Amino acid sequence: MATEILVPVLGESITEATLGEWLKQPGEAVAADEPVASLETDKVSVEVPAPAAGVMGQHAVKPGDTVNVGAMIGTIEAGDGAAAAPKAEAAPAAAPTPAPAPAPAEAAQQAPAPAEHVDAAALSPSVRRAILEHGVDPATIKGSGKDGRITKEDVVAAASAKSSAPAAPAPVPTPAAAAAAPAGDNRREERVRMTRLRQTIAKRLKDAQDTAALLTTFNDVDMTAVIEARTKYKDLFEKKHGVRLGFMGFFVKAACMALKDIPAVNASIEGDEIVYRDYADISVAVSAPQGLVVPVIRNAESLSVAGIEKTIGDFGKRAKDGTLKMEEMKGGTFTISNGGVFGSLMSTPIINPPQSAVLGLHRIEDRPVVRDGQVVVRPMMYLALSYDHRLIDGREAVTFLVALKNAIEDPTRLLIDL
């Protein structure tokens, strides 16, 4: 008897999701609680576990389809998977008029057929972009990711192997064939349905622009002291705490101190009231295969730099694995986004409602600056604070950035709360 695979409860107020991809194909053996499909919600990807052990039955929905909580999306049949293969092979033998085997030339032409089974919607955006950029057929790529999924690195490696392979001599076209060949036949387009996460990001960012009075204030910070401290203590830090010492730990700690001094930056508008908070739940933008996600470091003001780095490291790992939980993405009071890891020099980040401010970090680069009347080269970073001008005045925004700058340029302040 078949066991139905149902869409699980996805979280408070979430009633539907989009089927991202099937992790098990019909006929494959499935263990109890083994992930068989992934669902995309407004915030994260959620894996659907098998309700029982057996053999994967038919898929009731396709990748990209919208499904409601509690809906049946597939079945698990009785069996162990091994017995299913002979049964499938026996079907052609029982047919009264089996189709003739194709000639070798025809078989060679039919070889690329597996490309039909590579669903563009099941590939991450970065993988789809890489496939378009390198002109690689995804059916020829062997995925090295989880459950054989194709990664961006797989695409780059396939493109490199393709370019290094000797090219077959091109046949000389006849005049008639040359006249029939369309000009610019290397121009291609691809339409890919937006993921539910991307749709939600687009809506929330547009809502922020429509409702908040956005303004961005800039400053720069000399990273010399933090770089020296990190270089001096990174090995001891990793040995003691089991996590690498990065820059985000310093910035989160410095931001918490500045938020305590300038509480409006940590506040929000609710109706005709302003909500002030004596705690700092810092949302940290983390890159995931489906796009940026923003998990929250709860009570960051009470954590040490080591505690902050451990939390961020855990978020980053689980974002890549798609195992972040819904509740970990809600309720932040202030956001830090580090575009510098991608090479950004300067940007104007958009706030994450109902928050009232977001701090943008950027790349570190050597620039000439004046110190004690002398021009010297220092590792500098631009800081950008975007904020809701309805709540935060320019003076408060500038004061916040100066307090942050002072703490980063003199990390001792972080120890003595100055």
Cα separation of 145 and 185, whole Å? 33
Q: Which residues are catalytic?
A: 389, 393
Tokens of 260: 């305590």
Kindly list the distances between the CA atom of residue 395 and the CA atoms of 216, 290, 391, 400, in Å, as whole numbers in the listed order. 12, 38, 12, 9
Helix, coil or strand: residue 65: coil
Place of tokens 């703490």: 407
What is the rounded CA–CA span in Å between residue 245 and residue 127?
30
Task: State how far the Cα of 163 lies from the Cα of 49, in Å rounded to an integer.
Answer: 40
Q: What angle do CA 87, 91, 94 make, to 5 degrees?
A: 125
Which token pair is 342?
A: 């991608």
Neighbours of 48 (CB within 10 A): 22
- Amino acid in the structure at residue 263: P
Residue 83's φ and ψ, nearest 5 degrees, are -75, -15
Bridge partners of 72?
6
* Tokens (6 digits) for 86: 């002979």
Six token digits for residue 279: 């705690």
Residue type, 267: A
With H, G, I as helix, E, B as strand and everything else as coil, classify residue 137. Answer: coil
